[in-house]
Amino acid sequence: MANIREIAKRAGVSVTTVSRVLNEHPYVKEEKRERVLQAMKELKYTRNIQAVHLAKGYSNMLGIVLPNIEHSYFSALVTGIAEKAQACGMHFALFQTGYDPLKEKEALMSLKERRVDGLIFCSNALSDGHILKWQESGPIIFCHPAPHDQCSTVSIAHDQAFKEGLHHLAACGHQRIAIVLARTEGANSESRLQAYQDMMQSLGQTIDDEWVIEGKLSLLDGKQLFAEWKEMKNRPTALFITNDEVSAGFLLEAQRHDIKVGESPAILSFQNNQLSEALGISSIHIPLKQLGQEAFDLFDRALKGEKSEKRMLPFRLIERTTTVLKNNR
């Protein structure tokens, strides 16, 4: 590939003039600018945009850190981020980690090495405090509540949403309630667990070890969950499942066994994607696409040197056929 010295020689100008043309400097005579552009065309010169950005101190690249792009929760988040990024002419790179701390550190190294200008963590295995130690290299945005004043976050109030869901199940007459999580670690999961423990205590209900279930992410996991539920000695009458795919798998498997889901077992889901709407699954709606858009906006504001912010988006419980209120029985 031709370099700027060869371009300068072909155009009959100085290297400085070529550099000014490449960087769109206003103080270049039009005749010289045209000669440089013609020489670039003849030599088939292509600018190294990455080198230009690094020279200017930015990469024009955003890093999005998430455990799994196939999961509808995270794909919806990424859709919101991507739409805003593309509208701003910003490129993005995905770091799919599978909750592996080493892979999350690779994303943080990309920030330190200026291969990305900032990171949005959709979910993380590393502690927030550890991640924030890297923030001097660029802005870091969390898609969950974080108590640290020096970082920007956007989320829903997961503890309040979980409490509302549990109260709904209690209003449907359920006391033996199981919760189904993707994992028990992490800020969102910890707040959900605490809400669950508080609610069960208020009901005077001892929590059976079998009622706290983790590692469920897919439709197939939902089918397996149904099999596990059938084998439980102290079978819960309701399941609060934090994943629409898992809820759908449970419901479909129950129907295959001619078990009607609604009164017992009842299921309440979390997210409210197209599956829950199509199958009539009660679910707590999270505006995931908007959450992604807000995360990008916080990143963009941080790049401009604006102060960190904490944003909370609304949620709402949508009752369908998989939960039945007492007064409707």
**Over the stretch 209-256, which tens digit does the pLDDT of each residue have?**
999 999 998 999 999 999 999 999 999 999 999 999 999 999 999 999
Number of H helices, E strands in the chain: 13, 12
Mean local confidence (pLDDT), 188-207: 87
Q: What is the pLDDT of residues 138-185, one digit of tens each?
A: 999 999 888 777 889 999 988 899 899 999 999 999 999 999 998 887
Residue whose C-alpha is closest to residue 116's, from 299, 292, 294: 299
Strands (E), the chain: 61-66, 91-96, 118-121, 140-142, 152-155, 177-180, 212-213, 238-241, 266-271, 282-285, 310-312, 316-318
Q: Mind listing the pLDDT tens digit for each residue in 117-145? A: 999 999 999 999 999 999 999 999 999 88
- CA 266 from chain centre, in angstroms, equals 28
> How much is the pLDDT for 149?
78
Cβ contact 60:99 at 8 Å = no
Output the pTM of the full model.
0.79
- Confidence grade of residue 329 (pLDDT, cut at 50, 70, 90): very low
Residue 50 reports pLDDT greater than 60: no
Q: Are 322 and 270 in contact (CB under 8 A)?
A: no
Whole-number percent of the chain with pLDDT over 90: 60
Q: Is 48 exposed, middle or buried (0-12, 13-18, 19+ CB in 10 A)?
A: exposed
- Cα torsion through 127, 245, 98, 300, rounded to 10: -60
Question: Do the Cβ atoms of 159 and 295 come closer than 8 Å?
Answer: no
272 Ramachandran zone, left/alpha/beta (phi>0; psi -120 to 50): left
The predicted structure's pLDDT at residue 326: 64
